[in-house]
């Protein structure tokens, strides 16, 4: 039986990963360390409550004593780090916490693993251990209309969020290169699916449209993202943990590139038809000031993970978006709970502020050669 220390698994992708792994493996132990920030939510794990294979621990990945204790107590085969501050817009307003959780938290996990797994005299590592960092395609920066990110594309992050993730990736590779630590990094494109916090585009659209509220589209809405159904990402992480070659990076993406405005119109059409609601129309679309430093296009080349591990995206977008909308329509109380309290304040500040940014963003020149608009 394998033991996994997984961090940040009360959040969107992590909670889907817990569901995926418990469904797939009868014999498994998942120790889930999560700080329960605004994005962490134990309701995401309600289905697995009482399952003895899942052990939840509330705490911070920056807490050395706690992480060391968990590694000593449970002796995990794998440590998989999902925990992060994950929203680009929040990073633009408050970068410090992104450095703390995403950079310092990652370094702390690496150090704790090294303390437990490395014999400095013999320069050997305990057999069968691995650290996996869940990273993002945003570390590569932005693409122009042509080309894709491969694993050898140079890191060129633009936002405080992607800079913190790139920095964490560099530390992970530094531990591999310096001490020979067994590591992998996965860099995935935009995920969508159940349990995603409605600060992110798709659940935000669903929540607003149901209430006939404006659907905020940044700038011209022609920014392109490569959308992947979250369970396909979970499957990739499982495969990389088990079979990924030590020291390698794997890009994960579905060749499903869509401009944001296409996503917005798809969600409107789906909700209009499914709810038979004449109030859900494209009239709700509201172009607002663009995100500062907004990356124009992401596109993943997933050839390496396909060829080396046999992974491929199983869920076509047309199916994934229906599954996703079904889930949100079936779980209105989940949405009501996560949007009560602080969410309203967040929404007001974030979107009011966007109006104030309009003139500044328009006047700001972009640096050449970084794939921006």
| Residue ranges that bind ligand NAD, judged by CB under 6 A | 7-8, 10-14, 34-37, 39-40, 60-62, 82-86, 101, 105, 134, 136, 165, 188, 190-191, 197
Give which of ligand NAD, ligand DAU, none residue 60 binds (C-beta under 5 to 8 Å, depending on kind): ligand NAD
Active site residue 138: yes
In this structure, what is the dihedral angle of CA atoms 228, 232, 235, 237, given to the nearest 10 degrees?
A: 0
- Is residue 343 annotated as part of the catalytic site, yes or no? no
Please identify, using beta-carbon distances, which residue of 125 and 149 lies nearer to ligand NAD. 149
What are the C-alpha distances in Å from 68 to residues 72, 112, 312?
Answer: 6, 5, 35
Q: Does 136 bind ligand DAU (CB under 6 A)?
A: yes
Helix/strand/coil for 251: strand
Smallest distance, Å, CB 169 to ligand NAD?
10
Binding residues among 74-93 for ligand DAU as defined by CB under 6 A: 86-88
The DSSP code sequence of 262-328 is HHHHHHHHHHHHHHT-TT-SGGGEEEEPPPTT---B--B--HHHHHHH-----S-HHHHHHHHHHHH
Q: How far is the CB of 114 from ligand DAU (least distance, A)?
A: 26
Please identify, using beta-carbon distances, which residue of 60 and 257 lies nearer to ligand DAU.
257
Q: How far is the CB of 274 from ligand DAU (least distance, A)?
A: 22
Q: Which does 101 bind (CB under 5 to 8 A by kind): ligand NAD, ligand DAU, none?
A: ligand NAD
Render 167-226 in DSSP notation, one character per residue.
HHHHHHHHHHHHH---EEEEEE--EESTT--TTSHHHHHHHHHHTT--EEEETTS--EEE
Does the protein bind ligand DAU through residue 260 (CB under 6 A)? yes
Q: For the chain, report the end-to-end CA distance as a whole number of angstroms.
A: 50
169 binds, among ligand DAU, ligand NAD, none (CB under 5 to 8 A by kind): none
Alpha carbons 262 and 147: distance in angstroms, whole number? 21
* 190 contributes a contact to ligand DAU by CB under 6 A: yes
The residue annotated as part of the active site, out of 4, 78, 118, 161, is: 161
Q: Spot the catalytic one: 89, 137, 169, 226.
A: 137
Q: Which residue is nearest to ligand NAD (CB)?
A: 11
Check if 161 is active-site. yes
Contact 143, 149 (CB under 8 A): yes
Residue 32 C-beta: closest distance to ligand DAU, Å = 19
> Would you give the distance in Å from CA 373 to the centre of its chain?
24
Give the residue numbers annotated as catalytic, written as ranges: 137-138, 161
């Amino acid at each position: 039986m394998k033991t996994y220390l997984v961090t940040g698994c009360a959040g969107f992708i992590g909670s889907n990963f817990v569901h995926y792994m418990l469904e797939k493996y009868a014999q498994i132990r998942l120790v889930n360390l999560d700080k329960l920030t605004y994005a962490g939510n134990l309701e995401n794990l309600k289905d697995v409550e009482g399952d003895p294979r899942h052990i939840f621990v509330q705490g911070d990945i920056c807490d050395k004593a706690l992480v060391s204790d968990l590694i000593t107590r449970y002796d995990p085969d794998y440590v998989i780090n999902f925990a992060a501050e994950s929203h680009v817009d929040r990073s633009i307003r408050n970068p410090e916490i992104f450095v703390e959780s995403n950079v310092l938290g990652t370094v702390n996990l690496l150090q704790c693993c090294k303390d437990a797994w490395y014999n400095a005299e013999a320069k050997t590592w305990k057999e069968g251990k691995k650290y996996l960092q869940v990273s993002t395609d945003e570390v590569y920066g932005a693409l122009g209309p042509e080309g894709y990110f491969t694993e050898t594309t140079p890191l060129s992050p633009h936002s405080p969020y992607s800079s913190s993730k790139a920095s964490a990736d560099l530390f992970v590779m530094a531990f591999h290169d310096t001490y020979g630590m067994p590591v992998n990094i996965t860099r995935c494109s935009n995920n969508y699916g159940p349990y995603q916090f409605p600060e992110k585009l798709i659940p935000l659209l669903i929540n607003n449209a149901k209430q006939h509220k404006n659907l905020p589209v940044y700038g011209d809405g022609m920014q392109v993202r490569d959308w992947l159904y979250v369970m396909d990402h979970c499957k990739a992480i499982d495969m990389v943990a088990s079979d990924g070659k030590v020291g390698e990076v794997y890009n994960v993406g579905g060749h499903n590139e869509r401009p944001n405005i296409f996503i917005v119109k798809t969600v409107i059409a789906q909700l209009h038809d499914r709810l038979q609601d004449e109030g859900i129309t494209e009239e709700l679309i509201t172009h607002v000031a663009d995100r500062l430093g907004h990356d124009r296009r992401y596109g993943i080349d997933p050839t390496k993970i396909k060829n080396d591990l046999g992974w491929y995206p199983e869920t076509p977008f047309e199916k994934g978006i229906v599954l996703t909308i079904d889930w949100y329509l079936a779980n209105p109380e989940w949405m009501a709970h996560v949007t009560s309290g602080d969410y309203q304040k967040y929404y007001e500040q974030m979107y009011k502020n966007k109006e104030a940014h309009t003139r500044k963003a328009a006047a700001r020149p972009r640096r050449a050669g970084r794939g921006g608009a």
